[in-house]
Amino acid sequence: MSAQRPDDPQQWPRYGQPLPPQPPRSPHRGRTAVLALAAAAAVGVGAVGLGTMGFGLGAQHAQPAAGKAGWPAPLVQPVGNSKTAATQPNAAAMDTAVQGVIPGLVNVNSELGMQGAETAGTGIVLTSDGEILTNNHVVTGATDISVTDLGNGQTYPATVVGYDRSQDVAVLKLSGASGLQTAPIGNSDSATVGEQIAGVGNAGGTGQPSVAAGRVTALGQTITASDESSGSSEQLQGLIQIAANIQPGDSGGPLIDSSGQVIGMDTAASTNYRFRMQRGGAQSGGGQGFAIPINQALSIAHDIDSGNRSATVHIGATPFLGVSVSTSDGVGAVVQQVVSGGPAAQLGLAAGDVITAADGNRIDSATALTNSMDSYKPGDRVTFKWTDPQSGAQQGQVALGTGPVG
């Protein structure tokens, strides 16, 4: 079965009444999110000229952007039983529910300065002064973020308060926002298999709200998303599985029940990605999606908002090493590119070197290096060990810079 992350620029069927059209965006906007999700591990440590996010979630794309046929597609693997099925929900009732949630949503547009690209996603308004819940992969690699509120039509600059890459959750703060309508938050513990739902978002990055109606097909699901080019992977657990056509651009948008309450945050879809059931269940066709239960997402958002940094929760600016890396059979993180003048260049790292440790902690993969960077902040001095193909074992210390988000 194929799977896709919601962030592509294709046109998909709309459900309910769309808002007035927004000014047209770059024709590559949605598809660049594919790039953004194809190399997360690299960006976590300062990738250049590659993707922005490595694990397959709500905004991954299996199809390369126009003119970029060489971009690899992440592999998403769901774990656990996957029940498909059901009929479509009552259109009139769901339309009413959808119209009630739209004013509490935002479109999130990220500029990826190091890639010369843009991505589009969705966000959920948590507070009237502009605290926004979205997927981490929607803003990964961003050097500039602008957010358009669907309730008042205004666009605001945004900063990232913090993120948890392992859970694909990020919290944004809008500058100068007040009086925003918040989304109606429900209780994901009340979700049941078979109930009618709808995923609301910004499919295709057009700026107009879109809706994918369907039903809950399974609870407590786990998916592993891998970037075959960098070797980076992450696993999301406890997800709500749905039979609904979640599309690129819907990432970070709400999954609502028939009463219009937000019970989840859309994060992964199966339109173009290949899913492989690892235990139990049978392969199912396209149109399957996954959402992070809203209770789970809000718990992480609370930690971020409270400044509770942890092994997975990063607060504030992203540290920057200035390399793109791939995995080398458990040996370490293989340097592919080095940013001129960056911390890695100052260390003397070059393409082909293999990073094996950071402050004494073993680095055995691209993912390990990315995760290790989350425990630091810009300005921290870190001692790295690496192997130079010509000179052998090397060691050096350098101050990390400030890089793109996540």
Residues 192-246 have pLDDT tens digits of 999 999 999 999 889 999 999 999 999 999 987 654 433 456 788 999 999 998 8
> What is the model's pLDDT at position 107?
97
In this prediction, residue 263 has a pLDDT band, given cuts at 50, 70 and 90, of: very high
User: Mean pLDDT over all residues of the chain?
Assistant: 76
In this prediction, residue 8 has a pLDDT band, given cuts at 50, 70 and 90, of: very low
Residues 6 or more apart whose CB falls under 8 angstroms from that of 383 comprise 358, 359, 360, 395, 396, 397
Residue among 168, 227, 353, 374 flagged as catalytic? 168
Residue among 110, 229, 232, 251 flagged as catalytic? 251
In this prediction, residue 270 has a pLDDT band, given cuts at 50, 70 and 90, of: low
Residues 6 or more apart whose CB falls under 8 angstroms from that of 8 comprise 30, 31, 33, 34, 61, 63, 204, 205, 247, 248, 249
> What is the model's pLDDT at position 3?
40
> What is the model's pLDDT at position 57?
31
| CA 134 to each of CA 38, 202, 342: distance values in angstroms, whole numbers, following the listed order | 19, 12, 30
Q: Which amino acid is at 247?
A: Q
- The pLDDT of residue 4 is above 70: no
Tell how many helices (H) and how many strands (E) occur in the chain: 7, 22
- Give CA torsion, residues 3, 170, 366, 34, to 10 deg: 40
In this prediction, residue 36 has a pLDDT band, given cuts at 50, 70 and 90, of: very low
In this prediction, residue 45 has a pLDDT band, given cuts at 50, 70 and 90, of: very low
Residue of higher predicted confidence among 19 and 191: 191
Q: Which position has the token pair 């397959």?
A: 56
Distance of alpha carbon 122 from alpha carbon 180, whole angstroms: 16
pTM of the predicted structure, to 2 decimals = 0.73
- DSSP label at 36? H
Q: Does 7 participate in catalysis according to the annotation?
A: no
> What is the model's pLDDT at position 255?
98
Distance of alpha carbon 106 from alpha carbon 238, whole angstroms: 25
Distance of alpha carbon 41 from alpha carbon 38, whole angstroms: 9
Q: Does 251 participate in catalysis according to the annotation?
A: yes
Domains of the chain (ranges plus CATH)?
Answer: 32-305 (2.40.10.120), 317-403 (2.30.42.10)
- The pLDDT of residue 379 is above 70: yes
pLDDT 10s digits, 89-136 = 467 788 889 999 999 999 999 998 877 888 899 999 999 999 999 999
Residue among 82, 137, 257, 266 flagged as catalytic? 137
Mean pLDDT check: name the lowest of 19-28, 61-70, 278-287. Answer: 61-70
Q: Does 149 participate in catalysis according to the annotation?
A: no
224 - beta bridge partners?
Answer: 77, 235
> What is the model's pLDDT at position 385?
96
> What is the model's pLDDT at position 140?
86
- The pLDDT of residue 62 is above 60: no
